Amino acid sequence: MSFLLSELNEEQLKPVLDTEGAVLVTAGAGSGKTRLLTHRIAYLVTEKNVNPYNILAITFTNKAASEMRERLAAMIPNAADGMLISTFHSMCVRILRRFIDRIGYDKNFSIYGEDEKERIVKNIIKAKELDAEELVKKAIWSISDAKNDGLTPEEYKKHNEYYDNIDEICIIYAEYQKELKRNNALDYDDLLLVTHKLLTEDSDALQYCQNRFKYIHVDEFQDTNTVQYDLVRLIGAKYGNVFAVGDEDQCIYGWRGADFRNIFNFTHDFEGCRVYKLERNYRSTQNILNAANRVIKHNTARLEKTLWTDNGQGDPIEFYRANSEQEEAHAVVNSIVGLVRNGKYKFSDIAILMRLNALSRSFEEKLLQYGIPHKIFGGFKFFERKEIKDLLAYLKVLGNPADSEALVRIINFPKRGIGDGTIAQLRNYAAVTGKNVTDVILGIKTNPDLPLSVVKKIAGFSELLEMLYEVKKNCGIYELVDRLVSALGLHVLYGGDDEESRNRLMHIEEFLASVKQFEEANEGADLSDYLQMISLYSDTDEMDGSDYVSIATVHSAKGLEFKVVYIVGLEEGIFPIIRMDSSEDEQEERRLFYVAVTRAKERLFTTYSASRFLYGQRKQMFPTRFLKEAGIVPDTVSYSGSRRYGSAYSDSAPSYSHTAPNASQAKPIVQRPAAAPAKQSADLSGFTVGAEVMHPKFGKGVIVNVSDEHNSKYAQVSFDTVGNITLALDYAPLKLCN
């Protein structure tokens, strides 16, 4: 046996050995869920002689699936490749690629993201002459809400008959589904819903899944929605060997359909279900767990459990009250500098977590000033950049000729003088003849029924597509993309000397490199495999272990852990969010805070600002109720009192207060120094207004203003490349020009 059951504690061992029938494990944060799952799967293969082909392990992120796959490859190297370890969506894509033609789709379907969804909804609203301002967001949210519950437009209308604009919303929903079908496309919710439809309507597909997946493991079970839960029930119905691991205290996706009550439903719906509880935490110190235990006990809809650890009490949790968001960011970044300079931590050990991505700007600016490498997650993703989306749209059309949304994006890129009128004529002709628009374009030269002006405008684009389809037949993915970039003349199009053009070319080169890497790592994969990977991509997949500070929303940090965590913006109206309108909403916000706290392994810092500029105005802010509930500050603390207590940070840094004695883009944005930025001891007198300076990233600039704040000297520099940036002279890698 290449793994040891002795590595498990008594709580973990019991469910690992309980291999037949339904098992539910309610596992607290940091309790070793991945270890539990991998050991159970390895035990099934090596001790129970289960064929790896018959094992399914489902989790919610690509990162978690990859980690599980790597661990199992080390434990049972000759067997891990035979089993399916994937996310729900990836599993559904795999099933649909095999069977979807049985319910009226082509197997080369496209997967639409939020951009395509919004564009289609807007077009429907415009065509129906409805009030766009009122309906776009409502319709998009409602369509997803309906699909998460497995409801058709008619069923959704019946369930929500008193909802404002419900008639219009259901009309839009119905038209939206028709447009997807015309484009041979599915959105993310459809991947689940259409798989459910397939398995309920096609007995061969259901039997295939049931006979293949005799042992089913589901991680993060609290995050399943109605359709996902039913998929597990359908596939697991024949053999009943379903192993569910979850923690209702970490259900934070209610807004997208997750229902933590599925944990309670599981015990009723799977006959003879056994329940196990994991409370020992391997991640955090006891002080951090005490705060987590205290806050989550205020929730009523949960299974009782109390996290504990052998890791020791650890450092006290610290708290800082700032006067403004700038002061808050200054305190956090100074604290980071102190921790890293002391040598105990690297930048990659540290995360700044927040409830709203909108809070990230002040922290990003301050990290930039200090030359600290950082990356933002839960924000703008690499594959959402225009130049990358344009290339992906070409690839989508090559993979699925019926994808008219992708076609409309590229038909005039680069510019070919093809306007909305020409596109409308092509669409109308396609509708009349029963063809898709791509087929009309490919046959444009021999088509006598379209005006000569349309034929002339489209001819060049038609020739380009013909050439690319031919390349696709005979070449690999990388060569296809390389030829595409060349054929579009992107090096000429983005050949300007401005920063924007240089960045776009850099992103295109990086995209080419990612395609090559995918092709080398996935022998035999084709274009549809690559497009599937991109469609199901998450920005946290970019976490590569490089040395940078992570800035993330709490939602995007789920499943991650860091030695040092700063939870910022802890104010009423932000965390918990202002739009709470029920006790259930408040309980989810509390679970979100619990998740944030339990990301920390060794040090936890909490901050709030007494005033904040947000949504266009400055407001007085009040600390979140969660701070007192968690015991991070005692009930007797006056929030308007002193902000400074003793600390281990640099003398110039605003410091945190300890808790009460009994309380518990695809590359880093800036250059990556080898160590924490050292405070410069050199003479700074030459950094005056008008002085020319040189920065290793931004190039040459001129100082336009100098100021003293927080015991540090700052210079506002006007750079030719990026405009005005304020830099901390004590730390920034700035040199005077001779």
DSSP assignment of 550-577, as one string? EEEEHHHHTT--EEEEEE---BTBBTTB
pLDDT for 637: 45
> Which residue out of 59, 61, 250, 606 is catalytically annotated?
250
Q: Which of 160-174, 202-216, 553-567, 603-617 has the highest mean pLDDT?
A: 202-216
- Please state the rounded mean pLDDT for residues 568-573: 94
Residue 231, pLDDT score: 96
Residue 666 has pLDDT above 70, yes or no: no
As a whole number, mean pLDDT of residues 277-305 equals: 93
Per-residue pLDDT tens digits for 121-165? 998 998 888 876 678 888 998 999 899 888 999 999 999 888 888
Q: What is the mean pLDDT of residues 245-258?
A: 84
Least confident of 35-49, 107-121, 277-291: 107-121
Higher pLDDT, 729 or 42: 42
For residue 192, which amino acid is it?
Answer: L
Distances (CA, A) of 164 to 169, 173, 649: 9, 15, 54
Catalytic option among 12, 26, 33, 40: 33
Catalytic site residue from 599, 601, 612, 643: 599
Per-residue pLDDT band for 523 (boundaries 50, 70, 90) equals: confident
The residue annotated as part of the active site, out of 11, 14, 34, 122, is: 34
Judged by average pLDDT, the poorest of 13-27, 568-582, 596-610 is 568-582
Q: Is 238 a catalytic residue?
A: no
Q: In the predicted model, is pLDDT for residue 367 greater than 90?
A: no
Contact assessment for residue 123 and residue 166, using Cβ atoms and an 8 Å cutoff: no
Q: Say how far apart CA 731 and CA 729 lie, in whole Å.
A: 5
pLDDT greater than 60 at residue 655: no
**Burial degree of 571 (CB within 10 A; 0-12, 13-18, 19+):** buried
Positive or negative: CA dihedral 495, 500, 502, 507: negative
CA atoms 6, 8, 12, 18: torsion sign:
negative
Compute the average pLDDT of residues 550-568: 92
pLDDT given for residue 653 in this prediction: 38
121-127 CB contacts, 8 Å cutoff, 24+ apart? 121/172, 121/176, 123/179, 124/172, 124/175, 124/176, 124/179, 125/172
pLDDT at 58 exceeding the cut of 90 = yes
Give per-residue pLDDT as tens, 677-733.
Answer: 555 556 788 888 888 988 876 778 899 888 876 566 778 888 776 667 777 777 777
Q: What is the mean pLDDT of residues 579-598?
A: 86
Q: Is 245 helix (H, G, I), strand (E, B) or coil?
A: strand
Q: Which of 220, 539, 588, 602 is catalytic?
A: 220
Give the model's pLDDT for residue 660.
Answer: 42
Mean pLDDT of the 564-568 span: 97
Tell me what the mean pLDDT of segment 101-113 comes to: 91
The mean pLDDT of 611-637, rounded to a whole number, is 82
Which of the pair, 582 or 308, is modelled with greater confidence? Answer: 308
> Is 549 in contact with 367 (CB distance < 8 Å)?
yes
222 is catalytic: no
pLDDT at 181: 93
The one catalytic residue in 219, 249, 403, 519 is 219
d(CA 701, CA 733): 13
Residue 250 among the catalytic residues: yes
Q: Provide Rg for the chain, Cα atoms.
A: 28
Residue 639, pLDDT > 50, answer no
Catalytic site residue 249? no
Q: How many angstroms separate the CA atoms of 200 and 186, rounded?
A: 18
Q: Helix (H, G, I), strand (E, B), or coil: what is residue 512?
A: helix
- The listed range with the strongest mean pLDDT (39-53, 384-398, 477-491, 509-523) is 39-53
Greater confidence (16 vs 577) lies with 16
Taking residues 585-590, report their average pLDDT.
Answer: 91
Res. 672: pLDDT tops 80: no
Q: What is the pLDDT of residue 616?
A: 63
Close Cβ partners of 124 (under 8 Å, ≥ 6 residues apart): 172, 175, 176, 179
Point out the least confidently predicted range of 392-396, 535-539, 554-558, 571-575: 535-539
Report whether pLDDT(659) > 50. no
pTM here is 0.73
**Mean pLDDT, the chain, whole residue set:** 84
- Name the percent of the chain lying above pLDDT 90: 45
Residue 235 reports pLDDT greater than 80: yes
Whether pLDDT at 384 is above 80: no
Name, in order, each residue with C-beta under 8 angstroms of 163's C-beta and a sequence gap of 6 or more.
142, 169
